[in-house]
Structure 1
């Protein structure tokens, strides 16, 4: 005999059970019956899928008033697809991962340390609004950094681990674009990531911001498919995102519990060995996203 647990267990008890599953499972359970739908879409369930400090984060956003009017489920999916700007200068964005509900954060170019890029030396880097540019993808931030000419490329981002989701494996990604006429990226840059309390970070890894160009004229005569196959052997390659920016992985790390508080994570992208002239890179920022445990 089938038993309808919605008739035998209190709604709060069933909500506790559902909130111990996953957002995907809750959506599936809402299709079981009308009674299950009411519980599986409730604020009690979806409030637990949101990050514990979600309300505090939203309060620091200019869009807090409109977000506070949403149900917890609608808020969850809104934050999956619509990053909000947070921080004193709106130089960081926040959204959540649709599958697990954990935090995704992105540091704007203005939040990064870019050698020669502070704005005091506009002959090297200039700050532009991508919303006014007909050739750049749309940016979630007010400004992006456009490389005019440097020989020493050195970009660094740091983030406090306490504002990330605990007990989570994260990947860090450099988000960028290239404008027409770019040059100097026929050699790989070096990317690395380390926790502040580590004496040494992981070994720097080759990353090809422009995978179709490598040093040597012989390589430039190869087909794109051949180049991609070669580059996979000795470095990371970029991919084009849905928002039309490019991204390349800097590295990954495990963020422990809040009790273990590691301090900060340092993420670096450099080319300081060949020292050839470089131009045409547009820096959007560095994004941190949860990665599936392998």
Structure 2
């Protein structure tokens, strides 16, 4: 049987691989030297990157401080994996962007300054800790995190427009947080909900009904707030909430990093 690489030029092989997925491209690169070269080409990885990736990079904090972003100097494959493993700060520096490793779909995180925290700007209830202020806390990608001093009414709200997300994708929303060494009153269940603000359909669950936190590789904790499907047709606003205002016990020691939105793994 004739070897396909002796019949088709590398560009054709690359075109075929570009119609697969990032994980398939990585597997196909092991087939032969010709496949390895084709699978690493810009043609392949350009197609795996989000269509508006260049615009997003231009909004990064590093691009704003210099005329040329170092990311633009990378090959498309290196750029892809850089955005997988190294989220970039965009806009005012209180949001980050990354891509999902196995699908290339967009991931965003709203930093604590980008979400609405009830009484968040009142120093007797919350304080803001910068990166260099606490060697105890996990490393933050944002300039500051919110540290709960003492409240009885806990309410955290984030909103995002679907037009910035990948279309036809189910997203999960996750509160990213940790607990300080000294804390109080954080053992009670919280209410979480995620839905569109127009014709709101909430996904409400008590914490004791199965929404358990998990530890991340970056040493922060996360708890799923809910999920939604982005139809990709009209721009809508997703409302994400977490709160506790039934027991009204005094709480302290919660440290909010932000709210992350990322594609949910297919089961």
Using structure 2 for the length normalisation, give the TM-score. Answer: 0.94
CA distance in 1, matches of 2:46, 2:133: 38
Report the alpha carbon displacement of residue 32 of structure 1 after superposing the two structures with TM: 1.7
1:106-117 alignment, distance < 5 Å: 106-117=109-120
Q: Give the one of 192, 200, 215 matched to 1:240.
A: 215
CA distance in 1, matches of 2:62, 2:6: 40
- Aligned to 2:160, the other structure's residue is in SS state strand
Q: Tell me which structure has the larger Cα radius of gyration.
A: 1
Report the alpha carbon displacement of residue 130 of structure 1 after superposing the two structures with TM: 3.4
CA distance in 1, matches of 2:266, 2:32: 33
- Aligned to 2:11, the other structure's residue is in SS state helix
Aligned to 1:270: 243
Using structure 1 for the length normalisation, give the TM-score. Answer: 0.86
CA distance in 2, matches of 1:43, 1:184: 53
CA distance in 2, matches of 1:106, 1:186: 25
1:93-118 residue CA offsets vs partner (Å, 9 max, x unmatched): 0111111111110000000011100x
Q: Give the one of 59, 66, 73 matched to 1:69.
A: 73
Report whether the alignment pairs 1:254 with 2:229. yes
Aligned to 1:288: 261
Aligned to 1:26: 25
1:47-106 residue CA offsets vs partner (Å, 9 max, x unmatched): 10111111110111133421111000011111111010001x111101111111111100
CA distance in 1, matches of 2:16, 2:197: 38
For structure 2, list consecutive stretches of 5 or more residues without a partner in the other structure: 64-68
CA distance in 2, matches of 1:262, 1:54: 19
Aligned to 2:85: 81
- Aligned to 2:61, the other structure's residue is in SS state coil
CA distance in 1, matches of 2:132, 2:45: 34
Report the alpha carbon displacement of residue 198 of structure 1 after superposing the two structures with TM: 2.3
Report the alpha carbon displacement of residue 131 of structure 1 after superposing the two structures with TM: 3.2
Report the alpha carbon displacement of residue 184 of structure 1 after superposing the two structures with TM: 1.1
Aligned to 2:188: 187
